[in-house]
Amino acid sequence: MTQKRLLTIEDLTPAAVDDVITVADVLEKHKKRFGHLPALLRGRCMGMIFDETSLRTRTAFERAIGDLGGQAIHYNGAEARIGRHAAKTEHLPDFVNVAGGFNDVLLSRIYDFDTQRQICDLSPVPFINGMCDEHHPTQALCDFLTIKRQFGAMEGIDVAFVGDGTNIALSLAQTAAKVGARFTCATPADMALPMDTTAHLAGFSATTDAQAAVKEAHVVVADAWIPMNKADEADARRERLAPFRVTPALMALARPDAIFLHNLPAYRGDEVVPEVIDGPHSVVYAEAVARLHIARALLLYCLRPDWAELAEAARSSAPDAFDRHLDELDRRSATRVFS
């Protein structure tokens, strides 16, 4: 069996994207019905490497593997001796192979995409990109889970991203193409997503007109204007991006039932005003918690050899039938571990 990896959304087939989102949704519904999930990952351990502090990604994945009976080990950049905050470096293959020997899956949140790619390629176990400067695949998946829950579908949905062409924009564009959504990216001309990353994406369009992008959209998405590596450009970026601020007037151009998404942390007054992010169109808190649901599904995708069977049951079963299927998988897991 080929080792699973999620370096970018492009590592997933359209069917895999749909399966991850579907399993995430039905698992959460099972959790709400019964108060817990079966220990489908009992005995499994996830190594998580962060060179920056993390609220949503770390909490989501630690909670997710715990919900499924496993555990997580956290390495900060200094402990791992890789990333931007390591006092001294360690030979990267040494670290990755040792960490992979201790753990069953690795998740890494390191700003530099090339380092992420190296870790992914070196890893002896499945790998998940928790975020880097060019991609944020787990965020895109939780955003489309939020969209599916809001509108009942992903195909045919119009998503408008406004602001800088960030990692969020690229991963959302890639996911939209996988699920049949239309994605419009509105940025200043010098902040557009590179053509070589978007030219092949179905349903993708780019513009410098935020109003045109948002018109009749189901979903409006913003991201922080001042990334951590561009703090010295803050004033210039605010001036350049001012026409892309999400205001009530901009949201009014979208559909009446449109939702506003933001991966957080948000900077009220920069990319979005309080009246929008704290208003009736905003679902940013549900969006944030959706990361937990996606984390559970991704861990099962990476670690369960019977993932295809689980995904099929999630797609086709009534709730009580899916509950019975989970119980059967739980019994199988217990037998493998303890017999």
Q: What is the mean pLDDT of residues 15-43?
A: 96
pLDDT value for 225: 96
Q: Are 187 and 241 in contact (CB under 8 A)?
A: no
Is the pLDDT assigned to residue 339 strictly greater than 50? no
Does the structure show a pLDDT above 90 at 336?
A: no
pLDDT tens track for 238-285: 999 999 999 999 999 999 999 999 999 999 999 999 999 999 999 999
More confident residue, 166 or 336: 166
| 9-13, 75-79, 106-110, 231-235: least confident range | 75-79
In this model, does residue 338 exceed pLDDT 70? no
pTM over 0.75: yes
> What band does 335 get if pLDDT is binned at 50, 70 and 90?
low
In which band, very low, low, confident or very high, does the pLDDT at 51 lie, cut at 50, 70 and 90? Answer: confident
Q: Is residue 73's pLDDT more than 50? A: yes
List of domains in the chain: 5-136+291-330 (3.40.50.1370), 138-287 (3.40.50.1370)
